[in-house]
Chain A
């Protein structure tokens, strides 16, 4: 089996453990320390940010405009409108900027 296959298997096992394990582990504690909880709460935004920020470094004008448009749409709209709006700006931008 390929490396990809085993990465997927490991990803699946650990993902399942996060879904089942929270109940098994955290329910042993009376309550989670506020700092631990604040840290856990920060995890998704912190991880996902690291996947956007370096992309901005190498981005051209079309890409920057698309991200700005998506961020602005996000203030009002949902995930779908943000995604479609950002993509539309990207396609139009690339048409003009190459």
Chain B
């Protein structure tokens, strides 16, 4: 009895500890949620579709990519492919976080992975590197404010989009390139960032001019990825491959 009430209290306090970590992320992502909703409606989505998209995909950058392409006449599978391409980084998050949640039940893992957005991953990694265990309550506590407000923000943006005055003067139509540039700049600490960006820029511009939209997305992305894969791996990466770090060893699904 006392043991049970102890675990309940600790789960509840873990939840609120996670919740507090989620609040700043919720605040920082709010403008982008509202912007997403507003731009999505400008690009022809209904308010219901906007809310549905935020609630099910729950990945800001890829949602922006999706609505950017909805505005043009593009084959549906290309839009889906572009959304997935932007979200492909989650494969790495999933592999990294997956190592640390072996103690969760299968259901907890199935639910938890849905909420694995960038800041959620970053905090989980930090928690794990500091030697703490990642509790399901803590994890869901952090996810709650981020997820709920993301959906609410996009609904707010979608609902009030029509109230916007002169969208050209406000630059609404050019906010997505600025936003995407910001995301690109956010990756600049990664290895080979500049060569990748230059290769993808050149290839996408050439494809845009000579093949046509939407192929510039896949052709440009393939050029950057191919360049990164062809460059000689760093000594560190080779060493990790030949002699993996201890915590990776003996991994089981």
- Looking at the assembled complex, report how far the CB atom of B201 sits from the nearest CB atom of chain A, in whole angstroms: 4
- A8 and B114 contacting across the interface, CB-CB below 8 Å: no
Of A32, A45, A91, the residue contacting B197 (CB under 8 A) is: A45
Of A4, A18, A45, A49, the residue contacting B90 (CB under 8 A) is: A18
- A14 and B87 contacting across the interface, CB-CB below 8 Å: yes
- Kindly specify which of B14-22, B125-133, B155-163, B188-196 makes contact with the partner chain: B188-196
Interface size on B, residues (CB 8 A): 105
Of A35, A43, A56, A82, the residue contacting B221 (CB under 8 A) is: A43
The docked-state distance in angstroms from the alpha carbon of A23 to that of B179 is 29
Instruction: Return chain B residues, CB-CB under 8 Å to A91.
Output: 169-171
Instruction: Return chain A residues, CB-CB under 8 Å to B171.
Output: 62, 66, 87, 90-91, 94
Knowing A27-B98, A48-B183, say if A21 contacts B91 (CB, 8 Å): yes
Knowing A4-B70, A34-B241, say if A63 contacts B174 (CB, 8 Å): yes
Of A3, A23, A49, A75, the residue contacting B94 (CB under 8 A) is: A23
Residue of B nearest to A41 (CB): B190
- A11 and B217 contacting across the interface, CB-CB below 8 Å: no
Knowing A42-B196, A52-B184, A79-B186, say if A33 contacts B169 (CB, 8 Å): no
Is B6 located at the chain interface by the 8 A CB criterion?
A: no
Knowing A39-B228, A49-B200, say if A44 contacts B83 (CB, 8 Å): no
Bin chain A's interface residue count. 35 or more
- A49 and B84 contacting across the interface, CB-CB below 8 Å: no
- Looking at the assembled complex, report how far the CB atom of A41 sits from the nearest CB atom of chain B, in whole angstroms: 6
- Kindly specify which of B52-60, B134-142, B146-154 makes contact with the partner chain: B52-60
The docked-state distance in angstroms from the alpha carbon of A54 to that of B174 is 12
Is B23 located at the chain interface by the 8 A CB criterion?
A: no
Instruction: Return chain B residues, CB-CB under 8 Å to A45.
Output: 184, 187, 190, 193, 196-197, 200, 224
Instruction: Return chain A residues, CB-CB under 8 Å to B114.
Output: 16, 19-20
- A23 and B98 contacting across the interface, CB-CB below 8 Å: yes
Of A4, A12, A40, A51, the residue contacting B88 (CB under 8 A) is: A40
Is B11 located at the chain interface by the 8 A CB criterion?
A: no
- B80 and A50 contacting across the interface, CB-CB below 8 Å: no
- A12 and B233 contacting across the interface, CB-CB below 8 Å: no
Instruction: Return chain A residues, CB-CB under 8 Å to B252.
Output: 27
The docked-state distance in angstroms from the alpha carbon of A45 to that of B192 is 10
- B56 and A43 contacting across the interface, CB-CB below 8 Å: no
- A23 and B182 contacting across the interface, CB-CB below 8 Å: no
Instruction: Return chain B residues, CB-CB under 8 Å to A3.
Output: 76
Q: A7-B76, A43-B85 are in contact. List 16 more A-B contacts (CB 8 A).
A: A7-B66, A7-B70, A8-B52, A8-B53, A14-B83, A15-B57, A21-B91, A34-B241, A38-B191, A39-B229, A44-B61, A44-B88, A46-B228, A47-B82, A59-B174, A63-B177
Could you list 10 examples of A-B contacts with CB < 8 Å?
A3-B76, A6-B76, A7-B66, A18-B91, A35-B233, A44-B61, A46-B197, A47-B221, A48-B180, A57-B209
